[in-house]
Amino acid sequence: MTLYDIIQHSTGDEAMMHKSLEHISQFMEDMKSQHKEIVEELLENQYELMNGRHINEWVARELVSKMWHKDLNGNVVKGEAITPEEAVVLIADKTADMQAKFKWDAYTAANAFAHDFGKSGVSMTKTDLLKLAKVFWFHDDDMGDEPNKVYWYFKRLIFE
């Protein structure tokens, strides 16, 4: 019998499935100490199966909430600098289907760029910052669209 068999033929309800996932997740966390690479590969494969090679909303908001930099005065600037609505200009030239796929990649990329430039002391408007972020993250000739540069860059943070 496999785990798939157990889940597929379960008589439990949705709450029981969530409890089962909690047990499996805890088991995998415990296994990380002995088999870190194997567990991270499994998590990455599962994430990509469910989300493609794109950052979903939950992951994007988690990543952005942890971003920070020190400005030239030494003040710590944390979290969202660019809203999801502002970030969509990075992918405005893509089809509607592609925009839906890349929305949270754009949000993550725009905020990462804002924090990187925020510490540099270079003064620029939000519009200029977004233009540069678009070129850096979404018009990189040697990366193309798949694998998505943003996902490729941030996946190490997602699965640690």
Tens of pLDDT along the chain (160 residues) come to: 988 888 888 888 889 888 998 999 999 999 999 999 999 999 999 999 999 999 999 999 999 999 999 988 899 999 999 999 999 999 999 899 989 999 999 999 999 999 998 877 777 889 999 999 999 998 877 765 565 889 989 998 898 7
- Looking at residue 76, what DSSP letter applies? E
Q: What is the pTM of this model?
A: 0.86
> Where are the chain's structural domains?
3-49, 52-158
The answer to whether the CB of 126 falls within 8 A of the CB of 86 is yes
Q: Which residues contact 150 (CB under 8 A, 6 or more apart)?
A: 55, 102, 105, 106, 108, 109, 137
- Rounded to 5°, the CA angle 128-108-96 comes to 85
Helices (H), 67-123: 84-87, 96-118
Q: Which residues contact 11 (CB under 8 A, 6 or more apart)?
A: none
